[in-house]
Amino acid sequence: MDRVAAAADFLAKLRRTRSVAQALPETCRPAEASEAYAVQAALVERLLAPSHGHAVGYKVACTNKLAQDLLRVDGPFCGRLLSPTVYAAPARLPAGDFVHRILEAEFAFEMADTVPAAAEPYTAESIAPFVAAILPTIEIVDWHYVDWTAAGALSLIADNAIHGAWIVGEPYAAWRDLDLATHEVRLIVNGQVITQGNGAAVLGHPLNVMAWLANELPKYGGALKAGDRISTGVCTDVYEGKAGDSVQADFGILGAVDLVFD
């Protein structure tokens, strides 16, 4: 068995058994980003096979400075959003389905058109015409290492950027009329505001995240395609959910996303 397959099998078993490990075995630990993304792709195949599911888009991680400092990286990385773990809001999920329930209120986008290769890097301005709508979402981050900050960015990429689940609100088409950098988001737990923030938390503006992803995917043979949905990273402080919690991410005019942990 090659290194990529061995790492994917190891991570798939951790997820299947809801267990944790100190680290990926040294014999199959990714040594560079291309290998980490190869492991991720193999892991995604294993996660989708039982349900015959499909990838619905991407999550972008480490789009804020706090996360980058914790991992000692200078930029984001990405994972895949998978149909078996995407839920329309309002959602009720068993708390026991997750090792961790880190809740992140995130702006997301739905692509109108496929993004072609370009001679110049995409920017927030040049990627915007390819976007159809914005969606309010909650990502549940769930890692399978004893200490996610010690595991290192490459091992997190391999484990599908430690994505657990995604709860999605209704698309909002008139998003171009809004200043997303200053648009406020509140995370409310059991009726109390726990934390709040805005779109400036993610690379200064959510469209900067989209531009980063459009420029990054071709390095590994990918591209943003029509219909893809992309979650752009946490724009508030995070909160670890508990059994019985009733959670709402309130995006104001964009709508709210409700989640209950049974």
147-191 pLDDT, tens per residue?
Answer: 988 899 999 999 999 999 999 999 999 999 999 999 999 999 999
**In CATH terms, is domain 54-261 a member of 3.30.43.10?**
no
The CA–CA distances, whole Å, from 155 to 36, 42, 213 equal 7, 14, 19
Instruction: Write down the domain spans for the chain.
Output: 54-261
The CA–CA distances, whole Å, from 46 to 37, 38, 99, 182 equal 14, 13, 19, 39
216 versus 148: the higher-pLDDT residue is: 216
Residue 67's pLDDT is what? 80
**How far is residue 50's CA from residue 64's CA, in Å, rounded to a whole number?**
34
**How far is residue 165's CA from residue 106's CA, in Å, rounded to a whole number?**
13
pLDDT digits (tens, 9 = 90+) for 26-79: 999 999 999 999 999 999 999 999 999 999 999 999 998 878 887 788 899 999
Q: Environment class of residue 162 by beta-carbon count within 10 Å: exposed (0-12), middle (13-18) or buried (19+)? A: buried
For the cut 90, the answer to whether the pLDDT of residue 202 exceeds it is yes
Residue 1's pLDDT is what? 58
**How far is residue 120's CA from residue 24's CA, in Å, rounded to a whole number?**
37
DSSP class of residue 9 equals H
When pLDDT is cut at 50, 70 and 90, the band that residue 146 belongs to is very high
| CB neighbours of residue 172 within 10 Å | 16
**How far is residue 200's CA from residue 96's CA, in Å, rounded to a whole number?**
33
